[in-house]
Amino acid sequence: MAAPREPSEMRILSVAGEHLRQHGLRRFTVVAVAEEAGMTHANVYRYFPSRTALIDAVVDVWLKSAERKLADIADGPDPAEDKLERLILALAKANRDLLHEEPHLFAALSQAVAKRHAISRRNRTRVRALFERVIDDGIATGAFEPRDRDRAIAFVIDATHRFIHPASLELEADVPQASVDARLATLIRVALRTLATGVI
Amino acid sequence: MAAPREPSEMRILSVAGEHLRQHGLRRFTVVAVAEEAGMTHANVYRYFPSRTALIDAVVDVWLKSAERKLADIADGPDPAEDKLERLILALAKANRDLLHEEPHLFAALSQAVAKRHAISRRNRTRVRALFERVIDDGIATGAFEPRDRDRAIAFVIDATHRFIHPASLELEADVPQASVDARLATLIRVALRTLATGVI
DNA sequence: GCAGTTACATTTTACAAATTTTGTCATTTT
DNA sequence: AAAATGACAAAATTTGTAAAATGTAACTGC
């Protein structure tokens, strides 16, 4: 899907990634990125239409890489129950790890989500599609028997929201990971049981 | 519990409430509140130790009033299932209505929560206690049979987080209320069923 | 002694000028 | 023709400073 990027474009993107991770959104300037990439800032605009677009491109690289891991899970040969559990855990872990290991990049993602940038809306749509696929898979194999498929999908997303959405993760940044993991495990168990027993 | 406030303190609090609702956090000044209350700003400090404390006091009035409604539900004679459902609905509705009807006050509450002010921590503790009471009630009457009481409480709070926490409510400010209501109803149904059937 | 004020030091905020950055485009370079 | 630059207007940020607000304490009148 992604067009093969030219070397200059790649270089800019890579330098921009370093800058964003190291200095954060506020200190991120097109001028500084261009200088470190060995060109004038005007040339950056040949490849990225705006500062915001460049930042979004950096975030998008991370989002796409996370999506690939999720897609691998969703497309695997395992039972839908296992895949749904691993999908939720992987998504929660990816975001939570980003919060702790790359706080500046997390902040940029968080802002893109809050301001509903195209990259985050599209990511949301694609991730949601993965959930739909796995749940449909489970319905097809009889593992899940919800009365209303759409309602079941919304339920899973709403119930796990606390452990997945950047805005919610920030709230609990200092809660011990083990405790969060235990609570998420409970929630997943309930969600799987709910899908299996047709309560919805 | 609350000490009977002196007339001046009440007057300041009431004027501060109007100012906060009308002008918002940014334009809220102790000088303006004092002037409208017919005194100099220095006198305000006889009753409230700081601007922040005054704002928190205004938010606390609202929190306490919301808590009373919740306590009425929790202390009622109805079955624990009904009470838990109404508790969640009332809490979600109180916060959501505040967001739409008093956006400035909502913003002040949101900030107090984000910055973990004492008023919000205590409110959280008391609201949590209401949930615990109702769930314990349900366990005592046999309506709920969770394997682990604490885990069950955490589960209910985590699962409904999306519809209750200010930070999450802001995200969906523009989603039609009917749609949100339907999703919350689903979540409540699942939570009640889960508590009843001892999955946790 | 209590409610309130006046006076004042400290901290924020508001605003204007200077500087930097963003974004565009004609021109140069390869 | 594609890649890059220099020059420039518009927008955003920073800097310095005046004004306002916050917060303290000594003082006044009841």
Residues B180-186: contacts with CB under 8 Å, at least 24 apart = B180/B96, B182/A151, B183/A151, B183/A154, B183/A155, B183/A158, B184/B88, B184/B89, B184/B92, B184/B160, B186/A151, B186/A154, B186/A155, B186/A158, B186/A200
Q: If contacts are CB pairs under 8 Å, which of residues 153-172 in chain A contact chain B?
A: 154-155, 158-159, 161-163, 165, 167-168, 171
Q: Is A3 within 7 A of strand D by CB distance?
A: no
Residue B9 has pLDDT above 80, yes or no: yes
Over residues B18-22, mean pLDDT: 92
| Domain A56-197 annotated CATH 3.40.50.300 | no
CA geometry: angle at B167 spanning B157 and B92, to 5°? 50
pLDDT of res. B1: 39
Q: What is the pLDDT of residue B2?
A: 43
For the segment A131-150, what is each residue's pLDDT rounded down to a tens digit? 999 999 999 999 999 999 99
Quick check: B31 CB within 7 A of strand D? yes
CB contact under 8 A, A167 and B171: yes
Instruction: Return the percentage of chain B with pLDDT > 90, whole number.
Output: 84
| pLDDT surpassing 70 at residue A4 | no
Instruction: Give the percent of chain B with pLDDT over 70.
Output: 97
CA distance B103 to chain A (A): 18
The pLDDT of B188-196, averaged and rounded, is 96
Q: Could you state, in order of their start, the residue ranges of all structural domains in chain A?
A: 1-48, 56-197
Which protein residue lies nearest to nucleotide C2, measured between its Cα and the C1' atom? B46
Question: Is-same-fold flag (A1-48; A56-197)?
Answer: no
- Predicted pLDDT at B78: 95
pLDDT bucket at B5, cuts 50 / 70 / 90:
low
Whole-angstrom CA distances from A52 to A48, A49, A176 are 9, 8, 34
Q: In angstroms, rounded to a whole number, what is the distance separating the alpha carbons of residues A37 and A31? A: 10
Under the banding of pLDDT at 50, 70 and 90, the label for residue B56 is very high
| Local confidence band at A2 (pLDDT 50, 70, 90 cut-offs) | very low
Span A161-174, mean pLDDT? Answer: 96
Interface mutation target, options B190, B192, B197, chain A, most CBs of A under 10 Å: B190
CATH T-level assignment (fold) for domain B59-197: Tetracycline Repressor; domain 2 (1.10.357)
Q: How far apart are CA A88 and CA A34, in angstroms?
A: 38
What does the pLDDT average to over A107-126?
A: 96
Provide the pLDDT confidence category of residue B103 given band limits of 50, 70 and 90.
very high
pLDDT digits (tens, 9 = 90+) for B27-44: 999 999 998 888 888 898
Distance CA(B188)–CA(B179), nearest Å, equals 14
pLDDT above 70 covers what percent of chain A?
Answer: 98
- What is the fold of A1-48? Arc Repressor Mutant, subunit A (1.10.10)
For residue B186, what are the contacts with CB-CB under 8 A and spacing of at least 6?
A: A151, A154, A155, A158, A200
Report, as an integer, the average pLDDT of B172-188. 96
Mean pLDDT along residues B172-191: 96
E-assigned strands of B6-113?
Answer: none
Work out the pLDDT band at B59, boundaries 50, 70, 90: very high
Confidence (pLDDT) at B6: 66
Per-residue pLDDT tens for B62-88? 999 999 999 999 999 999 999 999 999
Instruction: State mean pLDDT over B156-181.
Output: 96
* Confidence at residue B182, expressed as pLDDT on a 0 to 100 scale: 97
| pLDDT tens-digit readout, B84-93 | 999 999 999 9
Other CB atoms within 10 A of residue A168 CB: 20
Using CA atoms in the order B187, B190, B191, B193, what is the torsion angle rounded to 10 degrees? Answer: 160
Check pLDDT > 80 for residue A30. yes
Tell whether the model's pLDDT for residue A6 goes beyond 50.
Answer: yes
Distance CA A67, CA A123 (A): 8
Q: In degrees rounded to 5, what are phi and psi of residue B6?
A: -75, 160
Predicted confidence (pLDDT) at residue A3 exceeds the cutoff of 70: no
